[in-house]
């Protein structure tokens, strides 16, 4: 069967990588994600990936404790690079060709981000992992995922996180929160739901 989308941008939360560990990277989950991405590639889907860094570092929390927000965000960007390198390694072990591109230069570690190169890599069947967010402080990896999705002309941006969808409240903090089955963009704004960076 022909896939519904030719090119996708997949946003993975860093927390999704930690599994039950509560911190770091669970190798079993990392390998499972790599296998699922491999299945997409084998269907002919071009896959771009943005991974958050919250499993390794959360800059916003330390900013509240007094750390300079810009410094904290830079540290968060580096955490996303670490996750990207781990995912590239897992994909290579699954025999999937993958590249890591960083929004901040890290010579010898990964490629510098360039949208035209990214599209070329995707067309060649390589998975492209976009790291370091947008390269700017004050922007989350959710914003980076949308930006990269637009730049690479993705058919859709899909966000995979630690919860099953959009709820009436944070389901982690409020077990009574109810899952929305359909939701419009305007409803998200009107209800002031904390979806992506809105």
Whole-model pTM?
Answer: 0.91
Structure confidence by residue, pLDDT tens digits, 56-108: 997 667 778 899 989 999 999 999 999 999 999 999 999 999 999 999 999 99
Structure confidence by residue, pLDDT tens digits, 10-67: 999 998 899 887 889 999 999 999 999 999 999 999 999 999 999 999 766 777 889 9
Amino acid 114: pLDDT: 98
Tokens of 125: 């069947």
- Domains, the chain, in order of start with CATH, read 7-162 (3.40.1160.10), 164-198 (no CATH)
Mean per-residue pLDDT for 150-167? 91
Q: What percent of the chain has pLDDT over 70?
A: 98
Residue 198 predicted with pLDDT over 70: no
3-class SS string, the chain: CCCCCCEEEEEECHHHHHHHHCCCCCHHHHHHHHHHHHHHHHCCCEEEEEECCCCCCCHHHHHHCCCCHHHHHHHHHHHHHHHHHHHHHHHHHCCCCEEEEECCCCCCCCEECCHHHHHHHHHCCCEEEEECCCCCCCCCHHHHHHHHHHHCCCCEEEEECCCCCCECCCCCCCCCCCECCCCCHHHHHHCCCCCCCC
């Amino acid at each position: 069967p022909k896939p519904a989308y030719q090119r996708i941008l997949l946003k993975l939360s860093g927390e999704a990588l930690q599994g039950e560990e509560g911190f770091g990277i669970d190798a079993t989950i990392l390998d499972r994600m790599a296998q699922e991405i491999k299945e997409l590639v084998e269907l002919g889907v071009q896959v771009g990936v943005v991974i958050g860094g919250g499993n390794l570092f959360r800059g916003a929390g330390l900013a509240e404790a007094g750390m300079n927000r810009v410094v904290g965000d830079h540290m968060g960007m580096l955490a996303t690079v670490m996750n990207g390198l781990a995912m590239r390694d897992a994909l290579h072990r699954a025999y999937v060709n993958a590249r890591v591109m960083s929004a901040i230069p890290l010579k010898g570690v990964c490629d510098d981000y360039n949208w035209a190169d990214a599209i070329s890599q995707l067309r060649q069947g390589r998975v492209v992992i976009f790291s370091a967010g947008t390269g700017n402080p004050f922007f989350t990896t959710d914003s980076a995922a949308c930006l990269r999705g637009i730049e690479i002309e993705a058919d859709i941006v899909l966000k995979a996180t630690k919860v099953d969808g959009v709820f009436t409240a944070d389901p982690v903090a409020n077990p009574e929160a109810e899952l929305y089955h359909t939701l419009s963009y305007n409803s998200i704004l009107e209800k002031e739901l904390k979806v992506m960076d809105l």
